[in-house]
Amino acid sequence: MAYPQIGGHYNYMSIVDQLTRHEWPYLLGICAILLAALYRFRPDERRNVLLTLLFLALGIAGLLVAQLAASLEMSQGAAVLKEIFTILLGLVVIRLFGLALFRLLLVSMRVQTPRILEDVVVILAYLAWGMVRLRYAGLDLSQLITTSAVLTAVIAFAMQDTLGNILSGVALQLDESLELGQWVVLSDVSGKVLQVGWRSTLLETRNGETVVVPNAWLMKNSFRVLGKRFIGHGMLWRRWVWFDIAWELPPAKVIAVIQNAILDGRIHGVSSEPPAQAILMETRDGVARYALRYWLTDFTADDTTDSQARAHVLTALVRYGIPLASSTQNVLMTKDNDKTAAQRQSIDIQRRMDALEGVTLFADFTAEERRHLAEQLSFAPFEEGDVISRQGAVAHWLYILTCGEVDVWRDYGTPIAERLGRIKSCGFFGEMGLMTGAPRTATVVAACYVECYRLDRVSFEAILTARPALADALSHILAERLNDNHLHSVTQTDIPAPPREAELLERIRRFFGL
């Protein structure tokens, strides 16, 4: 088909003819398929898909305008418009193929590529497309390079920072210094790597801030990448929590208390493997400094997990009567007079006697006997998850629960663990260990922060020795409590029947030597 000439050039074919000959139908069909696939399978890329579709429609519309201008014998304007929108369509197609390759095909193959690689490949394709269009326009590229050497040098000098950032970003990716999702600590900020771009790296801090760091700065300065990968445990980050203890206390005891507080607490975010460690780091100025080292699994919860670790350790230290060391620079100058000290002691004793009122075992005790027990009680706090009493252990003391709740477990910490029940505030447990010396039949775990009073055998023995007749009443109350617990047990099939009252009386007399 021949087309009339306008101004020495052939008039342009209609856009409909262009879309129905040679490669155009196939190219547009492929573009439609890629757009539909991206829109369907990558919902997070739908904004880019819609923008690409918009520019594709704009390019086609521009060619229609160019055809219209050519039909109105505006050949020069038509040529300019055709070239502009042809270049635009080429850029749109290149961008679409880049999205399909890096964000659809490679992602479906579970191949994670840095964003900078996609940017570099697409930019190189843009440059190649521009050179092709210059070549079609009749420009000799070799002459362009020869005649523009000075201009190229000026542009390179003016863009040295930008080029430095681009090359630095490529280097960071090639040597795998940074990976998406890693946590990085710079001189004044820390955060998770969101993206390594062609100019900068994006970090998201724990405060929800996005920090833009030039790639060239990362290449010129040192930074720390948090976390160590353990096989089967993912990325872990070791944290340090410090405690100052009086130096005269046995280090073995302090280390055991600190480590058990974390291991038994099962704190969320604290890895069980490798296990937490307590270490005596140094002793100076009458203070022994201990460090608790544990492996953190959730890097976003570093401060809160440290706080939980401190809370568990502090309550364990209080429970075992291990005070924190006071700084040698502090001077304690508080002095209570006799009246103030007596008033404080009276309030404390009354609080303990109120706690004893809720224990049915002591219903037949006189007020004087209860007061004697109150004076012997020890304060014992526990954090959530702490093991208060362990199944099979021999412990000759009774716990009186004044605050919080505890869970009673059988086979705690094993695959067949079973929760038998829950004891609420004002309850008590451990009476069989106190009265008969029997091993614990279940494990008691703090369900939240718990405050208890603990009564040991020595404090109780003095009263029972002075009034042996109490053994009869105690055996009767103890038998009723054991029967009631058995009837309300979650599982009764494989739990042996509790001992009878006569058997309990005999055990009590034998245990206390009555």
Q: Is residue 213 part of a domain?
A: yes
Give me the long-range contacts of 207-215 (CB less than 8 A, separation at least 24). 213/186, 214/161, 214/165, 214/168, 215/164, 215/165, 215/166, 215/168, 215/169, 215/172
Residue 234: give its domain's CATH number.
Answer: 3.30.70.100
Q: Is residue 326 part of a domain?
A: no
Residues 6+ apart with CB under 8 A from 463: 365, 369, 372, 373, 470
Compute the average pLDDT of residues 277-302: 90
Domain identity same for 500 and 374: yes
Per-residue pLDDT tens digits for 79-94: 888 888 888 888 888 8
Question: How many structural domains comprise the chain?
Answer: 4
Question: For 193-211, b where at least 16 C-beta lie within 10 A, e where not — what string?
Answer: beebbbbbbbbbeeeeeeb
- How far, in Å, CA of 385 to CA of 3, rounded? 87
Domain identity same for 197 and 128: no
Domain identity same for 268 and 362: no
Q: Is residue 334 part of a domain?
A: no
Query: How many residues are there in the chain?
Result: 514
Domain identity same for 219 and 235: no
Coil, helix or strand at residue 266: coil
Domain identity same for 494 and 352: yes
Residue 218's pLDDT band (cuts 50, 70, 90): confident
Domain identity same for 392 and 421: yes
310 pLDDT above the threshold of 90? yes
Domain identity same for 445 and 418: yes
Residues 6+ apart with CB under 8 A from 429: 389, 398, 399, 401, 406, 408, 423, 444
Domain identity same for 148 and 14: yes
Structure tokens at 72: 């109105």
Domain identity same for 17 and 146: yes
Q: Is residue 43 part of a domain?
A: yes
- The pTM of the full predicted model, rounded to 2 decimals, is 0.61
DSSP for residue 495: S
Q: Is residue 503 part of a domain?
A: yes
Q: Is residue 331 part of a domain?
A: no
Which residues span the domain enclosing 272? 229-319
Domain identity same for 151 and 40: yes
What is the DSSP annotation of 147-192? HTHHHHHHHHHHTHHHHHHHHHHHHHHHTT---TT-EEE-SS-EEE
Q: Is residue 332 part of a domain?
A: no
Q: Is residue 172 part of a domain?
A: no
Most distant CA pair in the chain, distance: 129
Beta strands in 267-393 (DSSP E): 277-284, 287-296, 378-382, 387-389
Place of tokens 């710079």: 186
Q: Which range, 250-254, 456-460, 484-488, is most confident?
A: 250-254
**Where among 165, 187, 211 does a domain terminate?**
165
Q: Which range, 151-160, 327-336, 478-487, 502-511, is most confident?
A: 502-511
**Where among 144, 165, 186 does a domain terminate?**
165
Residue from 405, 362, 358, 411 nearest 382 by CA: 405
Domain identity same for 357 and 479: yes
